[in-house]
Amino acid sequence: MDFGNTEYYTNRELSWVRFNERVLSEARDKETPLFERLKFLSITASNLDEFFMVRVASLKDMVHAGYSRKDIAGLKPAQQLELLYPVLHDFVHMQYDCYRKLLKECASKGLRMVEHHEDLSAADGDYADRYFIEHVYPVLTPMAVDSSRPFPLIKNKSLNICALLVKKGKDAEKEKNQEFATVQVPSVLPRLVRLPDSEGEIRIIRLEEVIERNIHRLFLNYDVLGSAPFQIMRNADLTIEEEEAEDLLKEIEKQIRKRQWGEVIRLEAEAGIDKRLLKILKHELSVTSEDIYEIDGPLDLTFLMKVYGQEGFDEYKHVNPKPCEVPQIPPGSNVFEAIRKGDILLHHPYQSFEPVVEFIRQAAADPDVLAIKQTLYRVSGNSPIVRALAAAAENGKQVSVLVELKARFDEENNIGWARMLEKAGCHVIYGLVGLKTHCKIALVVRREEDGIRRYVHLGTGNYNDATARLYTDMGILSCAEPLGEDATAVFNMLSGYSEPLGWNELSLAPLWLKKRLLKLIRRETEAARAGRSSGIRAKMNSLCDPDVIAALYEASSAGVQIELLVRGICCLKTGIPGVSENIHVYSIVGNYLEHGRIFIFENDCDPEVFLASADWMPRNLERRVEIMFPVRDPALKKRVMRILSLQFADNVKKRILEPSGEYRIPRSKKAERYSCQEAFEKEAAQLAGKGRGKGVKDSRRFTPRSAADDE
Amino acid sequence: MADKKTAPKLFAALDVGSFELCLKIVEIRPTGVRQLEYLRHRLALGSDSYATKKIGLEKTEELFRILQEFKDVMKSYHIREYRAYGTSALRETENTEILLDQIRNRSGIELSILSNSEQRFLDYKAIAAGGELFDEIIAKPTAIADIGGGSIQLSLFDKGRLVSTQSLKLGVLRLHERLQVIQPRSNQVEALLDEMINGQLSVFRRLYMKDKEVKNLIVMDDYLSPRLNAAIKGAGPKHIVSFSVFQGFCTGLLTEGDEELSERIGLPEESVPLLRISAGIMRRVAESFSAEALWAPGTSLCDGIAYEYAEKFLPRSSTRDFEQDILACASAISKRYLGSRRRSEAIEASALAIFDGMQKIHGMGERERLLLRLSAILHDCGKFINMTNVGDCSYSIIMNTEMIGLSHLERETVALVVRFNHEDFEYYDELSTHSDISEEVYLVIAKLTAILRIANALDKSQRQKVRKLKAVLREDTLEITVDAGADLLFEQERFLARVDFFEEVYGVHPRIRREG
């Protein structure tokens, strides 16, 4: 059996679109609170933007470069683009279909979004005009195009309004009299303009509508024949010539600047745009018809996140409970003492991320701590972890931080605080040449009475206190010696030293993780063949590594029961006779972003449980530094297994991947509603203290407000 | 915070090797040595120094940079005690002193150069730290093949004691450099390696082994041992493999392609040729010795450095008495040069009795006592070459025969003591014209020579007449009471001829008194 047959695989881009459809279906789901639906719709838009900037751009690059290597599904780049164009256009239609429905729903709940400035009443129009003159006009820079003024550079992702002008008194019908002009909708001003409330109704209009209404004021000697908002997307794939990059930091800064001016890969314009304007844009921006999206609604739906942020409407939002305290580490306790009592499993966002922050914070102030080492991929603005690391260095500890500058779209942010850490005296490693460091590991070396003890935190999610409230992740705090030894070796490798002679517990990508994974899968295959107990249950964000999928197919064909929870891309096809009949793939898209990576192998009735920073994707397994670590403590192992089981039991947000490639919710109407995310919220509250109710509330304890609370 | 008296000790061992720079940080507790950090940075200093006797600027800069990093890591652990050693790559540079000075100034690290025998002794200490398993292995006839970058050291055990050792310039990096010059095809490498190794191996066999057998081979290297251990995990108890298993493993290594092999065993592709050479050497040694089993303890020089430092903190029962190995080695050398064991023992006993009797005034310690014993054992080995020039010949033999466990300086001390036992003593002004020894060492040589001369005189007839000897210091006289089985006229005559020097050195008059 050839498990590598390309027919057994789904193209990853198409699978990604399916994922975004699942996000969109959350926006369409009437059971989802109204404002959450707006948020989901906004997420589909930002997801799509990134998809264009990275994936579509990359495919286009390949086509331009004449690269014709087939993908996992046997498709050449040009074929993939051909398949993608109609799917993406359809998707955009679905987005706006959803938008229009939400618009009506919002209006019925007292939030009216005025879609077109033409619909404004005279009084509202006056208000909008005054707003324009006072706030908008001073920051606008209209740019006309003629023989002496070339077509201006349009910034990536910027929203603009183009206009067709004719000098007053000239014949508007003659093409030679028509002039093109454009003006950028200023990003320094809020996208939403709130109109005076009327009859208890909140009314908002988008900034571009206000500008369009007043566009004649920008071109006083001209008549405006037509105008329309447009937006472009440029190729933003960051390719760094590392061999030539003497200084990675400078190279990344250069690339960020370049990103503004890459090839245009998408042009969005308001439906009904004057054909003459569209023709000019198409010509000047060198876009093909497939790259043009005529939008029947407002461009750039990410503004819906701002709508979500409107005060009030709480009954239409899902208010996430405050993460619960971790019972082993109550606030004010000594983290190191707690860890010495045994390994501690953290389940975010149901449980607070605070112990992780506290781990670094206490280490920074502890006179017995000698060194702190940590990897940082994406951190929040004003991160308490970064502050603690800087404080530790100032306190004379040896602090080594590997800052991954290449975390896409976070590069600029990362450079800033990496420099700050360096200034504080930390030893900062700016990533590794050729590899992204994606693993999440922190090591604290402490001098204790009975010798040096190493404390380790390993996680599936970033050291980001803000996203830790929204992403579901897991982590372990431990002072087990084998883990400590391995963690030390990881940092030594990241510092450029040779690999250790062997690993106790950890499997590292790109050198060992994939091999280990394949070995674990094959062990199950052999067990099934030998009639022993076998099985694989795993959760990850994406699954598209061909070798891993082929190994899973082989395992399935040997009789291994495989259940996978893959939130995003899944190139594996289910239900192929003789190949994947024993594989079931599910996806959960819910209130929290499912982000943890959990792998469980039956191991002949002695299950092995692993957590990891890596998805089963070639980029994770072959081009990134990732860590997979086992959960050894029997109680914690049991807990992780239970958590995964509960996720598989979800019948609210869990969808099943059908052999057709479609996803559907498998719940029968009679079945009792069970949402794992809701269940985990409740469970964490129970764990935090029976009878104490939700969260960390304690009426007899003052809770200082932290900077994070203000955000 | 830990109480300073009971807190485990932290120590750093640095090895500037021919192929790698290593830093090991350990914690020493009464229960043993625990590794905290092991940093290794690949830097083939040997590629430069073996070929040109110098280390290029690029590598020197990298060496300084890494040593500075090591210093920072040590600082983070608040390390106060460390030992930093350079081995063959630095030993073989022409400008070693200049380089050491630069290292001191640039990184603040005090680096010393180990002689081959010092280095091997530390390697041996690292292996011996294996405890019971080591004792179990050497209970059978055993050899150690310690494969380094510049040379390999072959050592033989007899009845649990290390008796012979020999360095052969067949190190992995050195052979690799030589092969680079020849540029053989891949299918020629193995045969070429055999030819490079076989000649020296067969001489070793003839000289040291004769009809002795070797059952166990202990191997120590940087490339093969870790992979062998990983490959045979679970196959044998505590990493001991049969020769046939080892053969199978090596055959795989020698026949597989570089890329495939690198992938399979997780070794950088550029290190694969070195692994092959190491495997080739080990296989040839194992075949040549007809070893039945192999043990690769996977230790490194850094372990030995750490263990040596840790010894004084570990309970005596858990440490090996390496002095016995050095003595056994000296006895084997004496035997090879047809020395009389009985005579050596007689002189050794007398010398030690005098040494102990003089304890109050000679100011020497256990280590000097050992040197005296070795001098006694080897006191006339040179007669094998020329009976009329025993002193000089003995000196040459000792200076050219390795004794694992002795530093170069100690070896020279023994050689000079033996030489002045037969020849006229050279005072410091004269001696320092052809030797680098310090005044301090010179005084030790003088003191030991004075004792050895008297002890030698007491068995001048070579009939071991002295059954028992006791030396007691009474004011300005050393009273030597002997229980002799025959008259001592001849010995007394010789004794009197040597009294002057003794008096000159110690300011004490030795007098013989017969018991009873």
Question: Residue B183's domain is classified under what CATH number?
Answer: 3.30.420.150
Give the span between the Cα atoms of B398 and B406, in whole angstroms.
11
Are the CB atoms for B28 and B9 separated by under 8 Å? yes
What mean pLDDT comes out for the span A196-221?
A: 92
Give the span between the Cα atoms of A145 and A123, in whole angstroms.
35
Residue type, A705: R
Give the span between the Cα atoms of B153 and B147, in whole angstroms.
7
Are the CB atoms for B150 and B176 separated by under 8 Å? no
**What is the overall mean pLDDT for chain B?**
87
Shared domain check, B215 and B142: yes
Parallel, antiparallel or unpaired: strands A507-509 and A471-478: unpaired
Instruction: Point out the least confidently predicted range of A224-233, A245-254, B253-262.
Output: A245-254
User: Residue with structure tokens 């055990």?
Assistant: B157
- Give the closest residue to B129 by CA, choosing from B12, B8, B300: B300
Give the span between the Cα atoms of B432 and B436, in whole angstroms.
6
Cα of A497 to nearest chain B Cα, Å:
5
- Give the closest residue to A41 by CA, choosing from A31, A29, A57, A52: A29
**pLDDT for residue A695:** 40
pLDDT digits (tens, 9 = 90+) for B279-334: 889 989 999 999 999 988 888 899 999 999 998 888 766 677 888 889 989 998 99
**pLDDT for residue B116:** 84
Shared domain check, B180 and B103: no
- Is residue B308 included in any domain, yes or no? no
Residue type, A178: Q
- At B411 the three-state DSSP class reads helix
What mean pLDDT comes out for the span A264-292?
A: 93
Q: A370 and B78 in contact by Cβ < 8 A?
A: yes
Shared domain check, B141 and B69: no
pLDDT digits (tens, 9 = 90+) for A348-361: 999 999 999 999 99
Pairs across A and B, CB distance < 8 A: 61
**pLDDT for residue A246:** 47
A395 in B contact zone (CB under 8 Å): no
Residues 452-481 of A with CB under 8 A from B: 452
**pLDDT for residue B101:** 93
User: Residue with structure tokens 């019971």?
Assistant: B132
**pLDDT for residue A74:** 96
pLDDT digits (tens, 9 = 90+) for A306-332: 999 888 888 999 888 899 999 999 999
**pLDDT for residue A244:** 42
State the DSSP code for B1: -
| The two domains A1-106 and A116-243+262-296 share their CATH topology (first three levels equal) | no
Percent above pLDDT 70 for chain A: 92
The secondary element (H helix, E strand) that includes residue A499 is none
Give the span between the Cα atoms of A488 and A302, in whole angstroms.
43
Residue in chain B nearest A397 by alpha carbon: B76
The model's confidence at residue A259, banded by pLDDT at 50, 70 and 90, is low
Q: B8 to chain A: which residues are within 8 Å by CB?
A: 450-452
Residue type, B211: D
A511 in B contact zone (CB under 8 Å): yes
Q: A496 to chain B: which residues are within 8 Å by CB?
A: 41
Give the span between the Cα atoms of B169 and B181, in whole angstroms.
17
The model's confidence at residue A256, banded by pLDDT at 50, 70 and 90, is low
- In this complex, the residue of B2, B69, B230 whose CB is nearest that of residue A502 is B230
Residue A491 confidence (pLDDT) above 90: yes
pLDDT digits (tens, 9 = 90+) for B173-209: 889 888 888 887 767 778 888 888 998 999 998 888 8
State the DSSP code for A534: -
Query: If you classify domain A335-505 with CATH, what class do you get?
Result: alpha beta
The model's confidence at residue A697, banded by pLDDT at 50, 70 and 90, is very low
DSSP letters of B37-105?
A: EEEEEE--HHHHHHHHSS--HHHHHHHHHHHHHHHHHHHHTT--EEEEEE-HHHHT-TTHHHHHHHHHH
Q: According to the per-residue pLDDT averaged within each range, which of A443-447, B124-128, B324-328 is highest?
A: A443-447
The encoded tokens of residue A241 equal: 């010539």
Shared domain check, B109 and B138: no
Q: A492 and B1 in contact by Cβ < 8 A?
A: no
**pLDDT for residue A698:** 39
Domain boundary among B114, B149, B182: B114
Q: B41 and A398 in contact by Cβ < 8 A?
A: no
Residue type, B117: S
Give me the residue spans of the domains in chain A: 1-106, 116-243+262-296, 335-505, 509-674
User: B467-495 b/e with 16+ CB inside 10 Å = b?
Assistant: eebebebeeeebebbbebeeebeebbebb
The model's confidence at residue A456, banded by pLDDT at 50, 70 and 90, is very high
Cα of A428 to nearest chain B Cα, Å:
13
* Chosen from B37, B66, B224 to mutate, greatest number of chain A CBs within 10 A: B37
What mean pLDDT comes out for the span A412-432?
A: 84
Shared domain check, B107 and B135: no
- In this complex, the residue of A398, A500, A501 whose CB is nearest that of residue B76 is A398
The model's confidence at residue A245, banded by pLDDT at 50, 70 and 90, is very low
- In this complex, the residue of A451, A499, A500 whose CB is nearest that of residue B29 is A451
User: Residue with structure tokens 């057994």?
Assistant: A8
Q: A451 and B78 in contact by Cβ < 8 A?
A: no
**pLDDT for residue A371:** 95
- Give the closest residue to B267 by CA, choosing from B225, B235, B216: B225
Q: B29 to chain A: which residues are within 8 Å by CB?
A: 451
* Chosen from B35, B76, B263, B265 to mutate, greatest number of chain A CBs within 10 A: B76
**pLDDT for residue B374:** 96
**What is the overall mean pLDDT for chain A?**
89
- In this complex, the residue of B1, B36, B39 whose CB is nearest that of residue A452 is B36
Cβ burial, residue A529 (10 Å; 0-12/13-18/19+): middle
- Homologous superfamily of the A116-243+262-296 domain (CATH): Polyphosphate kinase middle domain (3.30.1840.10)
Q: According to the per-residue pLDDT averaged within each range, which of A342-351, A678-687, B229-238, B270-279 is highest?
A: A342-351
B4 in A contact zone (CB under 8 Å): no
The model's confidence at residue B512, banded by pLDDT at 50, 70 and 90, is confident
Q: B75 and A498 in contact by Cβ < 8 A?
A: no
**pLDDT for residue A455:** 98
Residue A261 confidence (pLDDT) above 70: no
Residue in chain A nearest B5 by alpha carbon: A449
B7 in A contact zone (CB under 8 Å): yes
Q: What architecture is the A1-106 domain classified under in CATH?
A: Up-down Bundle (1.20)
Percent above pLDDT 70 for chain B: 95
Residue B246 confidence (pLDDT) above 80: yes
Q: How far is CA A151 from the centre of its chain?
A: 34
> A623 or B50: whose pLDDT is higher?
A623
- Is residue B306 included in any domain, yes or no? no
Rg (CA), chain B: 25
Shared domain check, B147 and B56: no
**pLDDT for residue B240:** 83
Shared domain check, B509 and B379: yes
**pLDDT for residue A407:** 61
The encoded tokens of residue A372 equal: 């702190």
Give the span between the Cα atoms of A601 and A3, in whole angstroms.
21
B345 in A contact zone (CB under 8 Å): no
Residues 365-394 of A with CB under 8 A from B: 367-368, 370-371
Rg (CA), chain A: 27
Give the span between the Cα atoms of B281 and B194, in whole angstroms.
8
- In this complex, the residue of A370, A449, A452 whose CB is nearest that of residue B27 is A452
B486 in A contact zone (CB under 8 Å): no
Shared domain check, B157 and B248: yes
> A243 or A583: whose pLDDT is higher?
A583
- Residues of A noted as catalytic: 438
A396 in B contact zone (CB under 8 Å): no
> A380 or A624: whose pLDDT is higher?
A624
B78 in A contact zone (CB under 8 Å): yes
Residue type, B450: A
How many domains would you assign to chain B?
3
Q: A451 and B1 in contact by Cβ < 8 A?
A: no
Contacts (Cβ under 8 Å, ≥6 apart) of A659 = A573, A574, A575, A576
What mean pLDDT comes out for the span A85-113?
A: 96
Give the span between the Cα atoms of B361 and B353, in whole angstroms.
14
CA atoms within 13 A on the CB side of B190: 13
Cα of B256 to nearest chain A Cα, Å:
19
Q: According to the per-residue pLDDT averaged within each range, which of A218-222, A242-246, A253-257 is highest?
A: A218-222
* Chosen from A368, A445, A447 to mutate, greatest number of chain B CBs within 10 A: A447
The model's confidence at residue A436, banded by pLDDT at 50, 70 and 90, is confident
* Chosen from B38, B43, B66 to mutate, greatest number of chain A CBs within 10 A: B38
The model's confidence at residue A702, banded by pLDDT at 50, 70 and 90, is very low
Q: What's the CATH number where B465 sits?
A: 1.10.3210.10
Are the CB atoms for A359 and A454 separated by under 8 Å? no
pLDDT digits (tens, 9 = 90+) for A112-137: 999 999 999 999 999 999 999 999 99
- Give the closest residue to B118 by CA, choosing from B157, B81, B86: B86
- In this complex, the residue of A370, A496, A511 whose CB is nearest that of residue B266 is A511
The encoded tokens of residue A175 equal: 């093409």
**pLDDT for residue B4:** 54
The secondary element (H helix, E strand) that includes residue A471 is strand A471-478
B270 in A contact zone (CB under 8 Å): no
Cα of A510 to nearest chain B Cα, Å:
11
The model's confidence at residue B113, banded by pLDDT at 50, 70 and 90, is very high
pLDDT digits (tens, 9 = 90+) for A27-72: 999 989 999 999 999 999 999 999 998 889 888 888 887 888 899 9
- Homologous superfamily of the A509-674 domain (CATH): Endonuclease Chain A (3.30.870.10)
Q: How far is CA A656 from the centre of its chain?
A: 22
Residue B44 confidence (pLDDT) above 50: yes
Instruction: Point out the least confidently predicted range of A286-300, B20-34, B266-280.
Output: B266-280
Secondary structure (H, E, C), A209-257:
HHHHHCHHHHCCCEEEEEEEEEEEEECCCCCCCCCCCCCHHHHHHHHHH
- In this complex, the residue of B2, B29, B226 whose CB is nearest that of residue A448 is B2
Cα of A629 to nearest chain B Cα, Å:
19
B191 in A contact zone (CB under 8 Å): no
Shared domain check, B490 and B345: yes
Q: B4 to chain A: which residues are within 8 Å by CB?
A: none
Residue A594 confidence (pLDDT) above 50: yes
The model's confidence at residue B265, banded by pLDDT at 50, 70 and 90, is confident
Are the CB atoms for A27 and A308 separated by under 8 Å? no
Residue in chain B nearest A499 by alpha carbon: B40
Neighbours of B365 (CB within 10 A): 9
What residues make up the domain containing B180? Answer: 130-298
- Is residue B412 included in any domain, yes or no? yes
What mean pLDDT comes out for the span A659-685?
A: 88
Q: B42 and A488 in contact by Cβ < 8 A?
A: no
- Give the closest residue to A435 by CA, choosing from A371, A364, A365, A508: A508
Residue B156 confidence (pLDDT) above 80: yes
Q: A449 and B7 in contact by Cβ < 8 A?
A: yes
Q: A500 and B38 in contact by Cβ < 8 A?
A: yes
pLDDT digits (tens, 9 = 90+) for B424-483: 999 999 998 988 889 999 999 999 999 999 999 887 767 777 778 888 988 888 888 888
The model's confidence at residue B1, banded by pLDDT at 50, 70 and 90, is very low
Residue A232 confidence (pLDDT) above 70: yes
**Lateral strand order in the sheet of B20-29:** B32-42, B20-29, B9-16, B81-86, B111-113
**pLDDT for residue B19:** 86
**pLDDT for residue B65:** 93
Are the CB atoms for A345 and A474 separated by under 8 Å? yes
Cα of B383 to nearest chain A Cα, Å:
50
**pLDDT for residue A242:** 44
Give the number of residues written for chain B. Answer: 516
Q: A396 to chain B: which residues are within 8 Å by CB?
A: none
User: A108-145 b/e with 16+ CB inside 10 Å = b?
Assistant: ebebbbbeebeebeeebbebbbebbeeebeeebebbbb
The encoded tokens of residue B427 equal: 């005072």
The encoded tokens of residue A328 equal: 């082993």
